[in-house]
Amino acid sequence: MPSPAFEQAAAEVKNLSSKPSDDVLLKLYALFKQATVGDNNTSKPTFDLRGRAKWNAWEELKGKLPAEAEIEYINLVNELKAQHA
């Protein structure tokens, strides 16, 4: 179950003054999924390039504990808030 700090970070990331790069967005997505779902157990998309990029980013975190992903997500959002304030 996500912590209140994680839920707050997830809400705050939507209010950044500018959009982060695609690489950062993929990292945010993967950390969010790892923190909330755990290891990726879905099949890899074949023709959906965007879906495949998201799948690959999440797959790279396989084995990372959800609590670790949650902390990394919160830290990344805090860095982004400082950069995009």
Q: Supply the pTM of this predicted model.
A: 0.94
Confidence of residue 62 (pLDDT cuts 50, 70, 90): very high
Measure CA 55 to chain center. 11
Q: Are 5 and 74 in contact (CB under 8 A)?
A: yes
Q: What is the C-alpha to C-alpha distance for residues 38 and 40, in angstroms, rounded to an integer?
A: 6
In this structure, CATH architecture of domain 4-83:
Up-down Bundle (1.20)
Tokens at 74, concatenated: 């919160």
pLDDT at residue 85 is higher than 70: no
For 2-60, write each residue's pLDDT tens digit.
899 999 999 999 999 999 999 999 999 999 999 999 999 999 999 999 999 999 999 99
Q: Where are the domains of the chain?
A: 4-83
